[in-house]
Structure 1
Amino acid sequence: MEEVKKQMKLAGPLIVVSLLQYGFLMISVMFVGHLGELSLASASMATSFAGMTGFSVMLGMGSALETFCGQAYGAKQYNMVGVHMQRAMLVLALISLPISLIWAFTGQIFIICKQDREISKHAGVYARWMIPSILPYGLLQCLRRFLQAQNCVLPLMISTGIASLVHVLVCWTLVLKLDFGNKGAALSIAISYWFNVFILALYIKFSPTCSQTWTGFSIDGRKKLLSFLKLGIPSALMICLEYWAYEGLVLMSGLLPNPLLETSMMSISITITAMVFRILYGFGSAISTRVSNELGAGKPQSARLAVNVGMFLAVTQGLLLSLIGVAFRGKWGYLFTNEKQLIRYLASIMPILAASNFIDGIQGALSGTVRGCGWQNLGAYINLGSFYLVGLPSAILFTFVFKIGGKGLWIGILCGSSLQAFLLTVITMRTNWELQAAKARESVYMSGQNFQEEENLLFNKDEKIKGFSALSNSTEMEEITN
C-alpha cells in the first residue's frame, strides 16, 4: 500500500501534465477551426507532421533522462542529476536545428507526396510558424524529467496548468483579435512553451528542493554527450516507432473504398487513442521514476515491488478505461461530428479500440520499467519487430486481403501491441533485479567519475579502505574477488 501511494502521488500530476502539454497543440487547431475548412485541414496536417518528425523525437530523447536522472538521484549523486539535464538540453538544442529545417520545407514535402497543393501550401506556412516551438518543447522535456526524478511533480502540474490558461488567452488574442490567422495559432504554441520553461526554470533556480541537484551550469554538462546519445537515440526510437505505426493506419485508411468515411473514423480513433496514451504514459513515467530511484539506491527488491504494483495499477486503469469506452461507445462520436453514419461506425470500432487501449496500458507500464532500467536498446528492437514485422503487415492482411475494412487496421495493430506487451512481460518476469541494481550503481558512479576523483581514489589510502569495506558484504565484492 505504501508503494501504491507513492506511485499514485507521482502518476496523478504526471498524467495531468501529459494531457495539458498535448492539449497545447489541440487548442491551437481548435481555434484555427473557426477560420474555415482549409485552415483546419492544413493545420491538422501540419500538426500531425510536426508530431511525427519533431515532437515525438524530442519526447523520446528526453525520456532517456528518466534513466540517467532517476538512477543518479536514487544513488544520492545529486550533482549528477543536474549534469545529466545539461547534457540533454545541449543535445536536444542541437537536434532542433535539423528538425527546424524539415519543418521549413513541410509544404514542398506534402506537394512531393501528391497532397492537395492548396492545403499543402497552407500547411507549410503553419509548420514554419511552429518552428520556434521545437526548442522550448525539448527544454521542457528535460526540465520535466529533472523534477520527476526527484519526485517533485506538483510544481510541474501547476506550471503546466498556468501555461495552458495562458495558451488559451494567447490563441484568442492572436487568432481572433489581432487576425493573425493560422500563423498566430502556430506562434502561440511557442509562446506558451517558452512561458512554461520560464516558470520551471525559476522554480529550479530558487527552490530549496533543487538546491542539491542544481548548482548552475558546469563544464561537465558539455562532456560525455555521446554517452547520452547512446541511450537517447534508442529512447527516441522506442517512442517514434510506435507513433509512426499508428500514423501509418491513417494513411492506409485513405486507400479503402470509402476513403472519406474511413479516414474520418481513423482520425477520430487515433485522437482518442492519443488522449488515452497520455494517461498511460503518465503511469509509465511514475513506474519509471520509482524503478530508477530504487535501482540507483541499490534496492533490487523495492524495484521489483514497484514493477509489480505498477502492473497492478496498469491493469486496473486499463480495465476501467476500456469499460468506459465500451459503455459509451455510441456517444463518443458526438464529441467530433454529427454525421450519423460516422457515429455508428465509431461505435462498432470501439470494442476493438478498447481492447487496444487495455493492451497499451500493460505495455505502457512495462515501457516505464524499460526506461527505469535503461533497456531502451532492447525496447527499440521489440517495438520494431512488434509493429513493423507483425502489426502493420497484419493490418494490411486483414484490411486488404480479408476485406474487413477499417476494423482490420485496428485488429492488425492490436496484434502488434499484444506481441510487444507479451515480450516485455516475459523479459520483466525473467529479470535478475540484484544484477540490475549492481549495474545501475556502477553506471551512476562511472558517469560521474572525473580525473580528480580518480586521483583521490588512487592516493587517498583511507578512502580506499572505506570503499572496499563498504563492498565487503555485497555481491560486487564477490565479483571483484572472482
Structure 2
Amino acid sequence: MEKPSVDEQPLLVERDENAAAPEAKRLLRLAGPLVASGILQCALQLVSVMFVGHLGELPLAGASLATSLANVTGFSLLVGMASALDTLCGQAFGARQYHLLGVYKQRAMLVLTLACVPIALVWANTARILLLLGQDTAIAAEAGAYARWLIPALVPYVPLTCHIRFLQTQSMVVPVMASSAVTSLSHVLVCWALVHRAGMGSKGAALATAVSYSANLAILSLYTRLSGVCKTTWTGFSMEAFKELRQFAELAVPSAMMVW
C-alpha cells in the first residue's frame, strides 16, 4: 500500500479532525447522562444518612458505618457482577441478536439473586461482625439495626441494576437519567415520611432506600413496556435464562472483583 504524499498528509489530518468532532459530541451525549445517573443513584443513600444525622450522633455513626459496609459487601459487588451485561449485551446488540439482551438480563438477575443470599447473611450479622472487629458496642448495635433494615433493598436493587445495564447497552441513557432524577427527588419525601412522620427513625431511612429503588424499577419497567422501544430486545421471560448460569458467573465474578 502506497504511503500518502507530503501534499496529501494535511488533507488526511483535516479529514480525521472533521470525523473526530461528531464522534466526540456523540460520546458526550452518552457520557453526560451516564455520569448524572450514577451520581443520582448514589444520592439515595446519602440523603438517607443525612436524615439520620438529624436524629443524633449515635444514629448517624451507626448509619454511616452500616452504609459503608453495605456498599462494600453488597451494592458494589452486585454492580460489578451486573457489569458483565455491558460485554454480553453489547456484543449481542452489535451482532443484531436482539432477543439475547432480554435473555442475558434474566440470567443476570438469577445469578445476582443467588449472590444476595450471603450478602443478606452478612448484613443480618453486622452487629456481631463489628463487635469482633473491636467496634464500640452501642455503634455496632445501631449499625446492625440499620443494616438489617437495608436487606429489603436487595429485592428491587437486583432487577433495577440489571435493567439499567440492559437499557444503557442500547444507548437509552436519557430515560435512566430521568428516572434516577425523579427517584432522587421523591426520596427526600419518602425519608421524611418514614423517619419523622411514621416515627421509624434510622430504620425508616434504611427502609426508604428499598421504597425508592422499587419506584425507580417501576418507572423503567413501565417505560420499557409502554414506549415500545424494546420490542426486539425484550420478548418476555424465557426458560433459556436458566441455561449457562455458570458461564455467566465466571464472567460476572471477575467484573465484581474489579469494582469491589
Normalised by the size of structure 2, how large is the TM-score?
0.91
Residue in structure 1 matching 2:142, options 99, 104, 122: 122
Larger Rg: 1
**Which letter does structure 1 place at the counterpart of 2:250?**
K
Structure 2 CA distance, aligned partners of 1:40 and 1:219? 45
What is the CA–CA distance in structure 1 between the aligned matches of 2:157 and 2:23, rounded to whole Å? 31
Report the equivalent of 1:9.
29
Which residue of structure 1 aligns with residue 84 of structure 2? 64
Q: 2: CA distance between counterparts of 1:135 and 1:98? A: 14
Shift of 1:193: 0.3
Q: CA RMSD in A?
A: 0.9
Question: In structure 2, how many angstroms separate the alpha carbons of the residues matched to 1:13 and 1:167?
Answer: 20
User: What residue in structure 2 maps to residue 173 of structure 1?
Assistant: 193
- The residue correspondences of 1:261-410 to structure 2 (distance < 5 A) are none
Q: Distance in 2 between matches of 1:5 and 1:79?
A: 29
User: Which residue of 233, 238, 244 maps to 1:224?
Assistant: 244
Asked whether the equivalents of residues 92 and 135 of structure 1 are also in contact (C-alpha less than 8 Å), the reply is no
Corresponding residue of 1:462: none
Q: Which residue of 1 aligns with 2:230?
A: 210
**Cα shift at 1:202:** 1.4
* Counterpart among 114, 119, 137 of residue 94 in structure 1: 114
Partner of 1:35: 55
Paired with 2:204 and 2:126, the residues of 1 have a C-alpha distance of 18
List, as ranges, runs of 4+ consecutive aligned residues in structure 1 with deviation greater than 4 Å: none
TM-score (norm 1): 0.49
Instruction: Report how far residue 98 of structure 1 moved.
Output: 1.4
- Matched position secondary structure for 2:54: helix
Cα distance in 1 between the residues matched to 2:225 and 2:246? 27
1:155 aligned partner: 175
Could you tell me how far apart the structure 2 residues matched to 1:24 and 1:200 are?
17
Residues 29-50 of structure 1 show CA distances to partners (whole Å, capped at 9, x for unaligned) of 0000000000000000000000
- C-alpha distance in 2, partners of 1:155/1:181? 33
Deviation at 1:222, TM superposition (A): 1.3
Partner of 2:213: 193
Aligned-partner Cα distance in 2 for 1:124–1:142: 28
Deviation digits for residues 282-328 of structure 1, max 9, x if unmatched? Answer: xxxxxxxxxxxxxxxxxxxxxxxxxxxxxxxxxxxxxxxxxxxxxxx
Q: Distance in 1 between matches of 2:117 and 2:223?
A: 28
- Counterpart residue type for residue 83 of structure 1: V
- Helix, strand or coil for the counterpart of 1:156? helix
Query: Which residue in 2 is equivalent to 1:110?
Result: 130
How far the C-alpha of 1:206 sits from its partner, in A, is 2.4
Q: 1:178: how far off?
A: 1.8
How far did residue 138 of structure 1 move? 2.1
**2:145 & 2:35 partners in 1: Cα distance?**
32
In the TM superposition, residue 101 of structure 1 has moved relative to its aligned partner by 1.0
C-alpha deviations, 1:352-378, integer Å up to 9, x for none?
xxxxxxxxxxxxxxxxxxxxxxxxxxx
- Higher mean displacement: 48-57 or 197-206: 197-206
Tell me the number of residue pairs that the alignment of Structure 1 and Structure 2 aligns: 240
| Identity %, equivalent residues | 53
Structure-1 separation of matches of 2:155 and 2:250: 21
Quote the Cα distance in structure 2 between the aligned partners of 1:94 and 1:204. 25
Cα distance, 1:141 vs structure 2? 1.4
2: distance between equivalents of 1:151 and 1:114? 47
Bigger relative contact order, structure 1 or 2, given CA contacts below 8 A and separation 6+?
2
Provide the secondary structure at the position in 2 that maps to 1:209: coil
The alpha-carbon deviation at position 135 of structure 1 amounts to 2.8
Q: Post-superposition shift, 1:95?
A: 1.1
In 2, Cα distance between equivalents of 1:6 and 1:79: 26
- Structure 2 gap segments, 5+ residues each: 1-20
Q: What's the offset of the Cα at 1:71? A: 1.2
